[in-house]
Structure 1
């Protein structure tokens, strides 16, 4: 062998000797090549061994270090906590208010009876340990192979399997953890198992396992947990009365209870029990192999006819379903959050799984089972005292008439009598954090289980104006609080919007007044300018406010009045409005704060996400403008009913078509409270509320706010008055034009614009005087304005009413309107003679509002009393003056009592958007003209 090695060495190092070796005998050559191969393979083998040892060292180091890291980060339960969890833990989730007070324990979908130590017989113990863990009495909770298998699974990505786990590990998984097959769970499971073995006896552990294991269904079709429940529910016996084949059958069920259970959902015995009987035979064999039973007993038990022992089916007792607005809301959201967790744990994307309906539904089923069978802890942001206060107030309030009808139910193919009640959805949101502090899902859960605060979507009406129209206009420096907005008869293609009750103010109105009194035409004119500016990204801003509207919705000018395709929920509306008292930021609304798994590990924690929409300056200006909605506008009745200081209260009303939906969003520096009223309108009904329903909703809002303030005034932060940012300009401008005084040229005339001034808030300096000073308005409208300034007795400032029922594009828009006074057309007089109720705005001298029927004569007197000629004005062919002392100027100013009275009675709130050319069925944002009165948005 020495010679051979020497030859090989020479072969590898001395080139010339190779020829000599090759010339030797065939046998020598064979030995030569064999030696080379042998040495090469031996060296490779040595290298492989070294690599394997090194890899094993890394594997142990990686696995041990990673496992140690998980253990260190794992909260260490006390012995008392362990005892409670394995012996006394709930089999379902618990829901909590903010602060830890319990809302409810989820009603488990299982029947459970716990067995005592004395009830568990040696026969049962032997059957279970021989089948599930033959080394149960030897190991200390964990077998080494479990750790090796877990580490290999983590490295290879194959997945951790539960087979081979000890009974202690299975107990931990059932009582503490989820069934997810992850490395983290496996390590945590082993950590808990080791600690349980350290402090509890084998008998205690085995009993806890038998009381926690699932055993399929009983003869009532109920899910059963615990061996005592199984013995009674399958064979009608106590544990001590079970014979060998019965004990073996039950011991085999926990491995796959849904497969091996003998009963179906209706409690009837399955026809095919082959798999269950095979499982029973496996248990018997392992007991025989383990020496627990003799061969004779084993063979006899295999032949035993178990089917004859199964209980006959019985009807399960009816259980009271646990439900309620809060319970259902939290359970549904928690289920969805758990679904996302389970999907992500499987390494999948939620969006991808949602595309597969069957697969997503399976995750939903799994998540629901976890909440009903595991001791999860769901912590919410809902404050119990506030929530209970809100429920009491909403239930005590009076709303409106019930609507009863007879309808055909397609689900049952029967005619049914239905009664619909006026419903309410209200929500209280913390402006800074987005926390939902309280809500009202409806007036009475027994009448309607629909959660009207979160799950219904309705047209927002004019409540959309602050954050869709006026806020963006201020932000992009299109307007100040005093910018003049046109309110004249205007056609936008086929779309002819009007103000309340099909009226038009026929004048320029300041942005402040237009918003506070919720005139529609100014809002549409302003929105038209916004959407036609390519530099303004309204859609992006609305997304930041949590409102996902389509491109086509933004192209519809009726959106400015709430004409959406699907509408908003109350929570959506409240959240969007809350930005004005959060420095222009919107915090995502939420009510699930945290979810803990049965081990106490936090598996979900809400992450606050705030989106900046408007600047601090815009927020400040909008606060000032929206405060006048409460003091002088459509919500002025609140000032007489609130029992707290409303100095910093802002708000906005909203009404959709024909009083279908009534809204009010109100904010203080601390919270936003939003309230909606309407009918559910089942079976295709179109029930509308009464014309005084806006007052009803405002009264409800006041009652809610007063009660919440009494319960906890700190949440309102009433005295946190925001200071004026440096970015806000306070300019003195003309009240009529919103510009600086100056001389302008219009239609060949030089005109001095002077007169009363007011303070305008804006993000830019005051605009210089210009002939066409407003947003919207045609040349004819400006002619009307300047002729009025000259003292001509025209229709400027006289409220007009829409009279046309069908129009053509060739028809002049002004011919479709008539002055609402004694000289109006017959159509207008007949319309107002119908005594439609009109919400009356408070003027500057009143802090309350009333409902009033306005007839033709009443309207005529008010209108004619406010319009006089300008006899004191000085004029010439080249110059017109806007003297402040002019009577006409007084009547057209916002301080005129007579004009204010007209406006208060006619144009108080949201109004119809009319598309008089449309011959198709009207939509919310583009309604057709109707014969039976106006449509409101």
Structure 2
């Protein structure tokens, strides 16, 4: 042998020079090469084993590190939380007001009758453990073989398997986790199971399991959960009276209740019960194999005709579903929050999952089921007393004429009588936090379930002017509060804006007056200047939470509310609230937190505040918007309010033909926004009347008064804003908005002086200038200077635009104006909106005239 090893060594390491094998016998040669083959294979096998062991160490190391990372990240519930959650058997979610008063409990979609531990007979326990976990009374929550099986399944690319989980793990999955089969969920499941076993007895665990397990449907077609519910709803018996085949049948249901349940959705027994009976036989066999029953019992139970024991169909008692604007708002938002939480729990990005509609829908369905079956808690920001007052006022206010018609409902393929009320959407938010304190979703939930505060989008009318036109102009030093804006007949190509009712003021008006009385021409002229200045208005509006398209920004009609889709009431209120929040907008929200059945907070709102305008701009806008209430389009509020309104600011808004009426009003503490209008279902085009602006202002005043009586502290009416150092106060001429001085016009020196006023701005007052206004033509200045020097002309006389045609080359306007005199009547708003949309799938088409009122 030693000689053979030497020959092999020489052969392997001496190379081609070794030739002594030529003199060996054939037998020696065969022995020699066989030995080489053996030694080679032996060494290869040795390296292979070492490699496998090394790989296993690496996998165990990485796997252990991964598991340890999950363990460290995962917060295990306390024993009290565990006890609460394992005993929450299909208790649906609860919605709460801000003060923890209950709004409602989510209508459960499953019937539950909990059983006590004493009601669980040895027979049902043996049937369940023999089927689901035969070593239940021996293990400590987790079986090592299930961990090995999960690892092998993952390595082989099968994925994390759920089979083989202990009964304790199944309880954890039902009561704590989702059905997603991920490593994170599997490891978390094992952690929870171990803690359950450490702190709860086997009897407590099996009782909780049998109360939480799903059992399909009962003879009324209701979903049922819990062994007691199943026993009574399938066989009409208490648990102690169940026979062996009945107990075996029930024990087999939780594996796949939708497949094995004996009843369909109307409570009738299924025609084909072969799968369910086969499952029952498997349970019986496992009980026999486990020694729980004798062979004779097994055979007799297997032969037993169980079908005759099923209850006859019956009608389920009618369950009144919880429905209201508040219930739907809180539930739907809660479901969105829970859906996103479940996605993140699986280490996925919500944005990525949303790209896959089917996958996101699965998460939504899971969240929906959890809210109907588990004891989640959704806490809103809604103040119960304030909410009640707002809706009481809306319900008892006549907002306008009802319209009844017969319309064809395509969803039901039937003609139906429909009545449309004037609808209302009102939102009350806290300026500093964005918290929704109260709202009105509509005047009659039974008539229209559309939430008009959050889910309908309507043309904002002139309510858009403060934050799209005037505030950006102040912020960028384009105007002061007294800058002169042109309000003369003009056109922009084929677009011919006018003030209310096709009038023009035919003069220069100050920015403050133009905003207070909501003149349209000055706003369009100013917006045109903003646009030509290259300002990023889109960025500003986005910070306000308002989304507009690039094409909308290109249209001058946007200055009057001419949007494609419009804004919701909540959007409008949130944007307006920035002026009393130092130029910052706090994102509007109405869900404060969501907790799981154990009380663990899975979502808590994080306040997001973004600066939109400087403190100086916000202060100046407060002073300008105060004039809207004091002398402008909202002056009808004077005398209607039961509190000191000296700090109240506001802005009205009306779209074309009185389709939409708005008022945004703010005190230092809160913003209340109110909208009224028709839904216009089935293609109707109902409009409000000319007095609707006053109607809405009266409604707003009544709401504000009721809120003040309920909780005056939220108004903060005594809070006075200090003037920021950035704000400049200047004494300027009322006529021009500039400092006095001498200017030259048409080769003539003209001294500008006279009555003065105080201008607020972020820069020093403008010196006297011949072309002092924004949007004026030479013809307009000629009219002004002639009038200023004493000539009698139509400067300052309101003109009615009675006929408008534009030549094909759009260079000349052929129009007729009629003087209406120097009426002091304010020119209210009106707006154009090419389309105002509602989530009721109804779109209202508007012309794009750009005239607005209020």
- TM-score, normalization: structure 1? 0.84
Q: Measure the CA separation in 1 of the matches of 2:811 and 2:194.
A: 89
- Aligned counterpart, 2:541: 542
1:515 partnered with 2:519:
no
Q: 1:385–1:11: structure 2 CA closer, same or farther, 3 Å change rule?
A: farther
Secondary structure (helix, strand or coil) at the match of 1:44 reads: helix
- Aligned counterpart, 1:77: 79
- Aligned counterpart, 2:50: 47
- Aligned counterpart, 2:209: 209
Q: 1:154–1:331: structure 2 CA closer, same or farther, 3 Å change rule?
A: farther
Moved more, 498-507 or 153-162: 153-162
Deviations 1:628-655 (A, max 9, x none): 2122211223342333333332211111
1:695 partnered with 2:694:
yes
What is the CA RMSD across the aligned residues, in angstroms? 3.0
Q: Would you say the 8 A contact 1:154–1:183 is kept in 2?
A: no
Deviations 1:432-476 (A, max 9, x none): 322212211122323332211001111111100011111111122
Question: How far did 1:794 drift?
Answer: 0.6
Q: Measure the CA separation in 1 of the matches of 2:599 and 2:23.
A: 81
Question: How far did 1:173 drift?
Answer: 2.4
Q: Would you say the 8 A contact 1:559–1:925 is kept in 2?
A: no
Secondary structure (helix, strand or coil) at the match of 1:428 reads: strand
Moved more, 514-523 or 344-353: 344-353
Q: 1:689–1:38: structure 2 CA closer, same or farther, 3 Å change rule?
A: closer
- Aligned counterpart, 1:680: 679
Q: Measure the CA separation in 2 of the matches of 1:456 and 1:590.
A: 17
Question: How far did 1:203 drift?
Answer: 2.5
- Aligned counterpart, 1:713: 712
Q: 1:225–1:143: structure 2 CA closer, same or farther, 3 Å change rule?
A: same
Q: 1:633–1:346: structure 2 CA closer, same or farther, 3 Å change rule?
A: same
- Aligned counterpart, 1:98: 98
Within a 5 Å distance, the mapping from 1:519-918 to structure 2 comes to 519-533=519-533, 535-804=534-803, 808=807, 813=813, 815-821=815-821, 863=822, 902-903=823-824, 905=825, 907-911=826-830
- Aligned counterpart, 2:309: 309
Q: 1:594–1:913: structure 2 CA closer, same or farther, 3 Å change rule?
A: closer
- Aligned counterpart, 1:86: 86
Pick 1 or 2: higher relative contact order, CA cutoff 8 A, min separation 6.
2
Secondary structure (helix, strand or coil) at the match of 2:749 reads: strand
Q: Measure the CA separation in 1 of the matches of 2:523 and 2:770.
A: 21
Q: Would you say the 8 A contact 2:563–2:833 is kept in 1?
A: no
Q: 1:529–1:443: structure 2 CA closer, same or farther, 3 Å change rule?
A: same
- Aligned counterpart, 2:250: 250
Secondary structure (helix, strand or coil) at the match of 2:457 reads: coil
Q: Measure the CA separation in 2 of the matches of 1:483 and 1:777.
A: 13
1:289 partnered with 2:211:
no
Q: Measure the CA separation in 2 of the matches of 1:773 and 1:361.
A: 60
Question: How far did 1:222 drift?
Answer: 0.9
1:926 partnered with 2:848:
yes
Q: Measure the CA separation in 2 of the matches of 1:297 and 1:153.
A: 38
Q: Measure the CA separation in 1 of the matches of 2:613 and 2:682.
A: 42
Q: Measure the CA separation in 1 of the matches of 2:101 and 2:4.
A: 87
Secondary structure (helix, strand or coil) at the match of 1:804 reads: strand
Q: 1:43–1:362: structure 2 CA closer, same or farther, 3 Å change rule?
A: closer
- Aligned counterpart, 2:837: none
- TM-score, normalization: structure 2? 0.92
Q: Would you say the 8 A contact 1:70–1:184 is kept in 2?
A: no
Q: 1:374–1:112: structure 2 CA closer, same or farther, 3 Å change rule?
A: same
Q: Would you say the 8 A contact 1:385–1:711 is kept in 2?
A: yes
Secondary structure (helix, strand or coil) at the match of 1:768 reads: coil
Deviations 1:380-409 (A, max 9, x none): 222223222322333333422323333343
Q: Measure the CA separation in 1 of the matches of 2:238 and 2:265.
A: 23
Q: Which consecutive unaligned segments of at least 5 residues does structure 2 have?
A: 835-842
Secondary structure (helix, strand or coil) at the match of 1:205 reads: helix
Question: How far did 1:36 drift?
Answer: 4.2
Deviations 1:316-344 (A, max 9, x none): 22211111111110111122222333444
- Aligned counterpart, 2:838: none
Secondary structure (helix, strand or coil) at the match of 1:386 reads: helix
- Aligned counterpart, 1:463: 463
Secondary structure (helix, strand or coil) at the match of 1:666 reads: strand
Question: How far did 1:128 drift?
Answer: 0.8
Q: Measure the CA separation in 2 of the matches of 1:446 and 1:53.
A: 65
Q: Would you say the 8 A contact 2:833–2:846 is kept in 1?
A: no
Q: 1:183–1:922: structure 2 CA closer, same or farther, 3 Å change rule?
A: closer
Deviations 1:357-380 (A, max 9, x none): 555444332221111011212122
Question: How far did 1:205 drift?
Answer: 2.2
- Aligned counterpart, 1:135: 135
Q: Would you say the 8 A contact 1:730–1:762 is kept in 2?
A: yes
Q: 1:152–1:620: structure 2 CA closer, same or farther, 3 Å change rule?
A: farther
Q: Measure the CA separation in 2 of the matches of 1:740 and 1:550.
A: 39
- Aligned counterpart, 2:40: 37
- Aligned counterpart, 2:839: none
Within a 5 Å distance, the mapping from 1:403-422 to structure 2 comes to 403-422=403-422
Deviations 1:162-198 (A, max 9, x none): 3222222222222233333344443443333333333
Secondary structure (helix, strand or coil) at the match of 2:211 reads: helix
Q: Measure the CA separation in 2 of the matches of 1:805 and 1:490.
A: 11
Question: How far did 1:811 drift?
Answer: 9.2
Q: Measure the CA separation in 1 of the matches of 2:678 and 2:330.
A: 24
Q: Measure the CA separation in 2 of the matches of 1:406 and 1:49.
A: 78
Q: Would you say the 8 A contact 1:489–1:813 is kept in 2?
A: no
Question: How far did 1:296 drift?
Answer: 3.1
1:431 partnered with 2:431:
yes
Q: Measure the CA separation in 1 of the matches of 2:153 and 2:545.
A: 42
Q: 1:733–1:151: structure 2 CA closer, same or farther, 3 Å change rule?
A: farther
Secondary structure (helix, strand or coil) at the match of 1:91 reads: coil
Out of 19, 23, 27, the residue aligned to residue 30 of structure 2 is 27
Q: Measure the CA separation in 2 of the matches of 1:626 and 1:150.
A: 66
Secondary structure (helix, strand or coil) at the match of 2:79 reads: coil
- Aligned counterpart, 1:868: none
Q: How many residues of Structure 1 are paired with residues of Structure 2 in the alignment? A: 842
Moved more, 702-711 or 356-365: 356-365
Q: 1:45–1:923: structure 2 CA closer, same or farther, 3 Å change rule?
A: closer
Q: Would you say the 8 A contact 1:500–1:912 is kept in 2?
A: no
Question: How far did 1:248 drift?
Answer: 1.6
